[in-house]
Amino acid sequence: MTDVFSPVFARIAEGAVEREADRRLPAEEVEWLREAGFTKLRVPREYGGLGATIPEFTELLIELGRADSNLPQLLRGHIGFVEGRLAHPDEAVRERWLRRIAAGVIVGNAQSERASTSWFAPETTLKSLGGDGWRLDGRKFYSTGSLFADWIQTTASLEAGGTANVLVPASAPGVTRIDDWDGFGQRLTGSGTTLFEDVQVAAEDVEVVDLAAPSSLTAVFQLVHLATLAGIGRAAVADTVAYVAGRTRNLHNPAHPAPGTDPQVQEVVGRIGGASIVAAAAVAAAAVALEEVYQAQPAGQDLLDRADVAVFGAQGVVARLVLDLTTALFEVGGSSAVTDRFRLDRHWRNARTLASHNPVIYRDRIVGQYLLHGTSPSAAYARLRQGVGEDS
């Protein structure tokens, strides 16, 4: 599979710095990935997909993140949706959506609201129209990937209580997608606002959520961030090596006129290169744990817990390693390394943005609680989704 996608990643990488400078959304690059079959990698072959394992897919995600870290993140909602369909208990639902994904459909994400979480009691509402389906109204302020999607997955509160997952065609009347994401990193992910105004929803596209049900999806979504971070690490190392190779003077150590022969520069490059290798290895190990969950469907609680701990434990390591190496790389070049023409800062900005989405401090604590007391991460998240406090 690497042979198929490497040329696509290379094309994407060629324009990454220019897109960053111009703030040009990678719509064309998403189409290259769709055409190459990247968006159907995890779909089993019997449904028309490529049948990649989670470890195989994760390695390709890392390489895509190396080419342009915006791309794996903007596809994060799609990736999570596919994993959710793969584990869906209704065979008809699985087949309907997996065949759509295999045909090229991309699903975006519109979950987060400013006044509530995406798990329980969202302000977005879903009202029954009797036999004619549902009506969806609401505003989601963080909608990664929806600008590039054919369908949007969102959450809404039901009139009778409870929460529903809702699927809406992105082009449906009443759906407005706004490119207003103003973060200093991951600027090209299309993570803006989505409005739903009197949107008609088919009955088959509404699923009531069992908030107490254990699931590996939290770990899946985090694995995408980790793969993206590992990709940033690889890109940062490659850019640092290219930067050092292109320098012709070494102000700080005249004994070594070529910076690449300076032992201190070599030490920095070796240190960040090693950090990148360790980060990618940690992500690969987490992917293996999630593959075990997938192969065991339906997975038991112990297996789900081990996968959560593997992913959340890797998060603490990977986020810190990549943030450190994207800072340390500037030690090789003095003030010229911070000029806009190199845009080396984008690696730290993008890594910092990704690491902030799911703060490491909470994942560290979950791992600690599990190791010390055997507290189930999945059970803890199920309680959180229900809005149940820790001491309740």
Flag whether pLDDT at 118 surpasses 60: no
The total of other beta-carbon atoms located within 10 Å of residue 57's CB is: 23
In whole angstroms, what is the distance from residue 16 CA to residue 167 CA? 31
Highest mean pLDDT among 133-137, 180-184, 257-261, 299-303: 133-137
* Res 210: pLDDT: 82
Please report which confidence band the pLDDT of residue 338 belongs to, taking 50, 70 and 90 as the band edges.
confident
* Res 251: pLDDT: 57
Flag whether pLDDT at 382 surpasses 70: no
Average pLDDT over residues 334-350: 87
In whole angstroms, what is the distance from residue 146 CA to residue 177 CA? 7
Q: What angle do CA 112, 85, 139 make, to 5 degrees?
A: 20
* Res 384: pLDDT: 59
In whole angstroms, what is the distance from residue 388 CA to residue 383 CA? 5
* Res 347: pLDDT: 97
In whole angstroms, what is the distance from residue 56 CA to residue 227 CA? 12
Flag whether pLDDT at 342 surpasses 90: no
Average pLDDT over residues 363-378: 91
Average pLDDT over residues 243-251: 75
Report which of 91, 41, 114, 57 is spatially closest to residue 284, judged by C-alpha positions: 57
* Res 254: pLDDT: 66
Average pLDDT over residues 292-311: 93
Handedness of CA 141, 32, 53, 65 (dihedral sign): negative
**Ramachandran angles phi, psi of 191, nearest 5°:** -90, 55
In whole angstroms, what is the distance from residue 97 CA to residue 106 CA? 11
Q: Are strands 193-201 and 175-178 parallel, antiparallel or unpaired?
A: antiparallel
How large is the angle between the packed helices 360-373 and 377-385, nearest 10 degrees? 130
Do 172 and 244 form a contact (C-beta atoms < 8 A)?
A: no
Task: List pLDDT tens digits, range 126-168.
Answer: 999 987 799 999 999 989 999 999 999 999 999 988 899 999 9
Correct CATH for 217-385 of 1.10.3210.10, 3.40.50.80, 2.20.25.90, 1.20.140.10: 1.20.140.10
Name 117's Cβ contacts closer than 8 Å, sequence gap at least 6: none
Domains 2-108 and 217-385 share a fold: no
Correct CATH for 110-208 of 3.90.79.10, 2.40.110.10, 2.60.40.3500, 3.30.465.10: 2.40.110.10
* Res 49: pLDDT: 98
In whole angstroms, what is the distance from residue 364 CA to residue 362 CA? 5
Q: What angle do CA 171, 64, 100 make, to 5 degrees?
A: 35
Do 280 and 230 form a contact (C-beta atoms < 8 A)?
A: yes
Q: Tokens at residue 250, please?
A: 């070494």
* Res 250: pLDDT: 60
Average pLDDT over residues 202-218: 88
Q: Tokens at residue 73, please?
A: 């993140």
Please report, in angstroms and rounded to a whole number, the separation of the first and last CA atoms in the chain: 49
Question: pTM for the full model?
Answer: 0.94
Please report which confidence band the pLDDT of residue 391 belongs to, taking 50, 70 and 90 as the band edges.
very low
* Res 252: pLDDT: 61
* Res 132: pLDDT: 79
Flag whether pLDDT at 99 surpasses 80: yes
What are the boundaries of each domain within the chain? Answer: 2-108, 110-208, 217-385
Average pLDDT over residues 305-313: 96
* Res 360: pLDDT: 86
Task: List pLDDT tens digits, range 170-181.
Answer: 999 999 999 999
Please report which confidence band the pLDDT of residue 392 belongs to, taking 50, 70 and 90 as the band edges.
very low
Average pLDDT over residues 34-56: 98
Please report which confidence band the pLDDT of residue 380 belongs to, taking 50, 70 and 90 as the band edges.
low
The CA-atom distances, in angstroms, between 199 and each of 164, 170, 194, 308 are 15, 11, 12, 36
Kindly report the average pLDDT of the chain as a whole number.
Answer: 91
* Res 25: pLDDT: 97
Name 52's Cβ contacts closer than 8 Å, sequence gap at least 6: 1, 41, 42, 60
In whole angstroms, what is the distance from residue 222 CA to residue 362 CA? 13
Cis? peptide before 298, omega within 30° of 0: yes
* Res 386: pLDDT: 54
Please report which confidence band the pLDDT of residue 378 belongs to, taking 50, 70 and 90 as the band edges.
confident
2-108 carries CATH number 1.10.540.10: yes
